Structure 1
Amino acid sequence: MDAAITLGAPLVRLFAGAIPEQTPDHDSIWVAAVSAFHRVTTYADNRGVRIGLHNHPPAVAPTGEDILRLIRDIDQPNVTVIMDTGQWHGSPGTNLQGTSDPEVDFYAYMAQVAPQTSYVRAKIYRIDSGMEEWLDYPRIVGILKAAQYDGPISIVYEDRNNQSAYPEALHLAVNHLRALL
């Protein structure tokens, strides 16, 4: 945190995954996690830095409700969301095969947190066709527009067997997202 303050960084990312329900002492682990997040966010808030909870699993991919509950329980004005489009419970980015859980609407999780999002990490996995093949970016952009999101969007390229070389894949990803925005 002190390095971010020295550099003048306005936002610091903290990973915010879920705790498996079957975990022994689930509730006490949650309380301890919230307490730790609260200490960090208080320290940051006193120095003018926002904390972005990144829905990236350290152990278990979160749902939208997991992230919103964490925000509510931390209860600090400087807490926001860093939305990672590919790291939700049930999403294709949580496994190397790119398969989604058909019983989970991970796009609904994005819609849940979009109003509190200050930064988007647009995951790109398969882009050879000129369109991301694992994630529905027309739908994701629609979610962001519905929430009136106007913040930064970064591209995070996690190559999953593309034929394109890195520079070409990045060019395809940029063009794909720009066309939707």
Structure 2
Amino acid sequence: MLAPIHVVASEDVDAYDMLMDQYTEAVQPRDFVEWMWVRDLTDQTWEEFRAKRARAVRLRLAQREAVELIMKAHYPRNTDKSAEMEFEIQKDVADILRGEEVPAAGFKLIRERFDIKGWDMFGAVYQACLSDMERFQRIADRANARRNMTLREIDRRRDAVARRARNVATKLINAVDADFE
């Protein structure tokens, strides 16, 4: 009845299914149109989650970029971009990000040398990926807005059905009342 789900191989299909089950329980779809809305709600929420996960990954990658930039500034002799020096820098960056004690202590000294404090480091990380962060936020915001529109449409449709049912009931009651008068 529905198209294949929009989950990529690295994502959790069970989590997607659980989300759809939760929307199904909340909406209790009555027909094909409402099932399509449940699917839309699930996809829109999944897209928002995906954007938020991407934002978190981008922050981690930006942290690596910032550490690498500082390390390269510390090793200015690598102007010829030697492969050996580049390998050493990348190894140090990986060790620092893993929290290895000796490289982390050395990195702290390097940051002090450049007068880069903790919040400065976060600022550099955030600045390095700001345009990506804004893009991911726009994706999340659009998914959220589409989800809210879908929910309003469900409410409108169900209100219209309820109004029609009330009108029919009122007409029937009036007709029955007229018969008894």
Please report the TM-score for the alignment, with normalisation by the length of structure 1.
0.24
Structure number with greater CO (CA < 8 Å, separation at least 6) is 2
Normalized per residue, the structure richer in strand is 1
Normalized per residue, the structure richer in helix is 2
